[in-house]
Each structure stands twice: as structure tokens, then as C-alpha cells.
Amino acid sequence: MKKSGLTLGIFLLIIMTDIGESVAEILMKKGLIATGISSISMDNIREFIVMNASSYFIWAGVFIYILSFLAWIVILSRIELSVAFPIGSTSYIFVPILSIIFLHESVGVLRWVGILFIVAGIHFVSKSAKSRKKEPEKI
Amino acid sequence: MIFIILLILLAEVCGVAGQILFKKTINGLEAPDMRSHTSYLVFLKNVLRVPAVWIGFCCVGSGVAIWLTALAQADLSLVFPIDSMQYVVTLIAARIFLDEKMDRMKLGGTFLIMVGIALVAMS
């Protein structure tokens, strides 16, 4: 009745979860930058917390994190942890790309090579999950 | 130096312990029916009712806290390559505690991902 194993839908859900986490991280970083506080000490920690707690960026980040976690729970109900976890490394691809676009950071050649390795690795892990016909998990 | 490495490994063990607790809990529950939206909500509600999941949250949370502590004290180019060890720790833990099967594709693919992350970190 139910399909278990890595389907395209689950794969896309993992990628969406990763994009969600990456976006959440970018939002939080934006929020942290917006406070204008670069080093935290006992003198400004109260101000630091208050500014973050009243930042829309921070709250949007937290909200997206929670959504990502709920999606992660659904993902784990479908596939093995040892497949889901490596594929979850796509955030190492999305964070640099989002950082270029939204934080105007520069990304070097070595980083692109690393990203290629990650993509190849994800490909193999996904193949491992597909090639094995698993018994459907108990219903 | 050694202290930082141990700290990162401790953070990884915490994070992976959380993931194992999540997956263990989920394996013990009825998976949601893909065609029914309400079954997802019921499923999520059931998951969040299990104490082990909240212990898992605490594990992941303390993992992040320890990781940030390590991050604050060490060179980033050191922290990230060591942090990619979490993939190895996860595979070992999944093999031992969840009885998940390993094969060449999975191990090789995970190794490539680790190399990739180390390269990303070095740049």
C-alpha cells in the first residue's frame, strides 16, 4: 500500500528542507548583522538579546527552521537515516549560492570544486537507496 | 587544539544522538499515508507526543551550543573539516542503533560528500 524508499517526492522534500534551513540561516545572519553588534560582552548582551528578539529576520528564520524540522520528521518516516543525512548536505551547495545572491559574498574555485564533489556524493547515496528493494516498513 | 577537536566530536555525538532518537521514534510509529493530508498532521502530533523526541531536541540543541563554543575559539578551516566527521558518525550509529544496511554506493557517496565539504571549508 505504501511506498518506502527514496522517491522523487522525498528527494525534493529533502532539498526543500535544506533550502529552508539555508534561508533560515541567511535570515538569522541578516538579523544578527542588523543589530550592529560585532562582539558580545557582558555589557551589551542584554541589548543583543533584546534586539534579536524584536527582529523580524530572526523570527522568520526560527519559523522556517520549525517548518524544516517538521518536514524532516516526515522524511525520516519514509527513508533510512543513513540515506537522508548525507543527502541533507545539499545545504553546503545552497548556502554559498544564497550567500552570493543575498549577502554579496564571493565564492572561489576551490569551493565550486567542493560543491561538485558533494553533488557526486549525493548522486551515489541516492543510487544506493534506489537500487535496494527494501521491504515496506511496517504499517 | 586537542580540546577543540574533542569538543567538536562531542557536538557531533550530541547531534547524531538526536537524529537516532528521532528516527527510532519514527520507526516505532505508523508512517503517514502519502495521499492524506490529515494523516500527516496526526503523524506529526504523534511524533511530538513521544518524550524521546524532546530528548532528541535537547541533544541537537546542546550539540549546536557546543559547536558554537568550539567555533568561537577555533579556526574555521579546522572546525569544518572535523565537522564533516559527523557523516561517518551518523553511518556508524545508523548501522549499530537502527540496523540500517550499508553498501559501497552509500559509503563511497558519503565519502565524496565529506571531501566536498572539506574543500568548501578550505576555500
Q: How far apart are CA B106 and CA B60, in angstroms?
A: 24
Return the pLDDT at A3: 46
Which region among A47-51, A54-58, A76-80, B14-18 has the lowest average model confidence (pLDDT)? A47-51
Give the length of chain A: 139
Q: What's the whole-number mean pLDDT along residues A51-70?
A: 87
Whether A11 and chain B come into contact, CB under 8 Å, resolves to no
Residue with cell 534579536: A52
Q: Would you call A118 and B22 a contact, using CB atoms and an 8 Å cutoff?
A: no
Return the pLDDT at B110: 92
Q: How far apart are CA A112 and CA A115, in angstroms?
A: 5
- Please report which confidence band the pLDDT of residue B97 belongs to, taking 50, 70 and 90 as the band edges: very high
A92 near B120, Cβ under 8 Å?
Answer: yes
Domain count for chain B: 1
Q: Which residues contact A40 (CB under 8 A, 6 or more apart)?
A: A48
In degrees, to the nearest 5, what angle opens at C-alpha B43 toward C-alphas A136 and B33? Answer: 45
CA distances from residue A11 to B27, B82, B84 in whole angstroms, order as listed: 19, 27, 21
Q: Could you please report the per-residue DSSP string of A26-90?
A: HHHHHHHHHHT--S--TTTHHHHHHHHHT-HHHHHHHHHHHHHHHHHHHHHTTS-HHHHHHHGGG
Chain B residues in contact with A89 by the CB 8 A cut-off are 87, 113, 116-117
Of the candidates B99, B15, B83, the one whose C-alpha atom is nearest the C-alpha of residue A92 is: B83
Whether A136 and chain B come into contact, CB under 8 Å, resolves to no
Q: Would you call B112 and A131 a contact, using CB atoms and an 8 Å cutoff?
A: no
B90 near B19, Cβ under 8 Å?
Answer: yes
DSSP secondary structure code for residue B74 in this structure:
S
Chain B residues in contact with A41 by the CB 8 A cut-off are none
pLDDT tens digits, A44-53? 778 878 877 7
How many interchain CB pairs under 8 A, A with B?
139
Domain hosting B93: range is 2-122
A 83-102 residues inside an 8 A Cβ radius of B: 83, 85-86, 89, 92, 96
- Interface pTM, i.e. ipTM: 0.83
Q: How far apart are CA A59 and CA A35, in angstroms?
A: 14
- CB-nearest to B112 from A82, A107, A120 is A120
Buried residues in B43-63 as b, exposed as e (16+ CB within 10 A)? bbebbeebeebeebeebbebb
CB atoms within 10 A of CB A94: 19
Whether A107 and chain B come into contact, CB under 8 Å, resolves to yes
Q: Which three cell numbers stand for residue B25?
A: 521514534
Q: Would you call A80 and B109 a contact, using CB atoms and an 8 Å cutoff?
A: no
pLDDT at residue A138 is higher than 60 = no
**Mutation to test the B interface, candidates A6, A8, A76, most B Cβ within 10 Å:** A76
Which region among A105-114, A124-133, B97-106 has the lowest average model confidence (pLDDT)? A124-133
pLDDT at residue A40 is higher than 70 = no
